[in-house]
Structure 1
């Protein structure tokens, strides 16, 4: 983890930091387990911890932060994609969604579903290329 990313994590209250670090680990593990993704780059975009697929360009940027309204962790994707609509169709009652950009993660969120939505984001461009 680079210093800038570590500093952002350190800026969260302990409970939020631990939940976001858990999301971080899940994102990194999902990338390793998902064919075609390759190594992730962890950086900051818009002040949020972000994950990019620079080697393969397989996916859209995945960002994590706390939801301003609830303080709960959230996974953000580019609002110009159809990903959040896809998540809603797949998991209509599984998450709280914010427009076309975010999924708010509850403490008891289904881990398999979370991994799936992250994998869909990390392979977004691969699916667009193959139809």
Structure 2
């Protein structure tokens, strides 16, 4: 008897403007950013304090915020000037500096605003869960 394997829930992009932005990314960028998007929704789904995530555009980038609970700061997904792709937070929060204190050289950073990924980087989702959770729970400190 074969056992069933559970597939992760895939979150549809309901906002046409957001879908259009994802469609315009190169295949490499799109795959990486969709993986980060999935992580954001997965973290939120496991934490009732975060609640439902609103997906919109801010500064032309896909942006994610707990809309009802107001528990966190916005996460954005975008392309840094240096190439690759990134997960970004508001630079006046301590999210990136706190994350850097935990994981230092395990990641590349753009100041206090982003964790940046280049071709060939392994996206360490087991560690990034902490960054996503910290951002989406930022105002619950």
The separation in 1 between residues aligned to 2:94 and 2:127, in whole angstroms, is 17
Q: Which moves more between the two structures, 7-16 or 38-47?
A: 7-16
The separation in 2 between residues aligned to 1:17 and 1:76, in whole angstroms, is 16
Q: In structure 2, which of residues 56, 70, 77 is the aligned counterpart of residue 57 of structure 1?
A: 70
The separation in 1 between residues aligned to 2:43 and 2:116, in whole angstroms, is 18
Contact 1:95 1:109 in 2 (8 A): no
2:44 is equivalent to residue 25 of structure 1? no
The residue number in structure 2 matching 1:88 is 100
SS in 1 for 2:63: strand
Q: How far did 1:98 drift?
A: 0.9
The residue number in structure 2 matching 1:116 is 130
Contact 1:94 1:109 in 2 (8 A): no
TM-score normalised per structure 2: 0.85
Which aligned runs of 4 or more in structure 1 are off by greater than 6 angstroms?
none
Q: Can you give the 5+ residue segments of structure 2 that lack an aligned partner in the other structure?
A: 1-12
The residue number in structure 2 matching 1:125 is 139
Q: Can you give the 5+ residue segments of structure 1 that lack an aligned partner in the other structure?
A: none
Q: Larger C-alpha radius of gyration, 1 or 2?
A: 2
Q: How far did 1:26 drift?
A: 1.0
Aligned length: 126
The separation in 2 between residues aligned to 1:35 and 1:82, in whole angstroms, is 23
The residue number in structure 2 matching 1:98 is 110
The separation in 1 between residues aligned to 2:91 and 2:29, in whole angstroms, is 24
CA root-mean-square deviation = 1.1
The residue number in structure 1 matching 2:18 is 5
The separation in 1 between residues aligned to 2:48 and 2:86, in whole angstroms, is 24
Q: How far did 1:35 drift?
A: 3.7
TM-score normalised per structure 1: 0.91
